[in-house]
Amino acid sequence: MHEIPYNAHINFDSGVIDDAQVTERRLSDMAAFYHDQEAVQRLLDDDPVLYRVYYIAQEAGSPSLWNTGVSVIEPGRVGDEYIMTKGHYHLNPEAPEVYLTLSGTGRLVLQTRQGEAKVLAMTPGAMNYIPGEWAHRTVNVGDEPLVFFAVWPSDAGYDYDTIAERGFARLVIAGDDGPQLIDNPAFIPES
Ligand code: F6R
Ligand code: ZN
């Protein structure tokens, strides 16, 4: 495959990559991912944009081609749950990913199909390595947008269905003293 060198510019504050493709997720795109359905219904009239991903994708198919992107997660909550991404496994369990936080404060929620779970901090400068077999979701626990750069192989693919059907084992919610990690009562383990 013929690769073409490129030069792209990321605005570190807004997260916008000039001339990149954009995916926008609104509350209506992911209502079922939040555990407080009454809170979802209250917010659905406005149907706010919860996050955007600016990305430059290579043609899928070869692990030596990498996609790059910047995610911008808005601050706020749906009930007691912070605004977060859907989260996914890579369809290819050999496709890892690296995140570099540019601004904001977040949590990276990780889990394997075997039931291991981890939560890592995201603050400016944090570099998070996500092995191929780990599902990953980012949660904005701060008052400003959470902005992070990501690089991943173009043959990674996305498994959103497993998370949609079973959820993550751990949830990050707003507690009295700030972000709090709880077990997800609705989680359905795979094994
Ligand atoms: C790519 C990746 C990120 C996410 C983005 C949005 O493999 O992990 O670019 O795609 O942060 O999250 P999802 O895709 O879970 O909606
Ligand atoms: Zn990913």
Ion ligand 2 residue ranges (Cβ < 5 Å): 97
Residues in contact with ligand 1 by the CB-under-6-Å rule are 53, 69, 71, 85-88, 97, 136, 138, 150, 152, 156
- Would you say 119 and 107 are in contact if contact means Cβ atoms under 8 Å apart? yes
Calculate what percentage of the chain has a pLDDT beyond 90.
Answer: 91
How far apart, in Å, are the Cα atoms of 1 and each of 65, 94, 97?
9, 20, 21
**Res. 1 pLDDT band, cuts 50 70 90:** low
Alpha carbons 91 and 13: distance in angstroms, whole number: 31
Mutating to test ligand 1, I would choose from 65, 85, 90 the residue with most ligand atoms within 8 A of its C-beta, which is 85
Alpha carbons 143 and 82: distance in angstroms, whole number: 10
- 87 C-alpha to center of ligand 1: Å? 7
Helix (H, G, I), strand (E, B), or coil: what is residue 45?
coil
Residue 35 is encoded by which pair of tokens?
Answer: 């555990």
Alpha carbons 119 and 102: distance in angstroms, whole number: 18
Q: Is the pLDDT of residue 172 over 90?
A: yes
Alpha carbons 189 and 21: distance in angstroms, whole number: 34
Atom of ligand 1 nearest to the CA of 25: 16
Largest CA-CA distance found in the chain, in angstroms, rounded: 54
The tens digit of pLDDT for each residue in 60-89 reads 777 889 999 999 999 999 999 999 999 999
Which pairing describes strands 49-56 and 66-73: parallel, antiparallel, or unpaired?
Answer: antiparallel
Q: Is the pLDDT of residue 187 over 90?
A: yes
The tens digit of pLDDT for each residue in 130-151 reads 999 999 999 999 999 999 999 9
Looking at residue 113, what is its pLDDT?
97
The tens digit of pLDDT for each residue in 6-58 reads 999 999 889 999 999 999 999 999 999 999 999 999 999 999 999 999 999 98
Ligand nearest the Cα atom of residue 67: 1
Atom of ligand 1 nearest to the CA of 152: 7
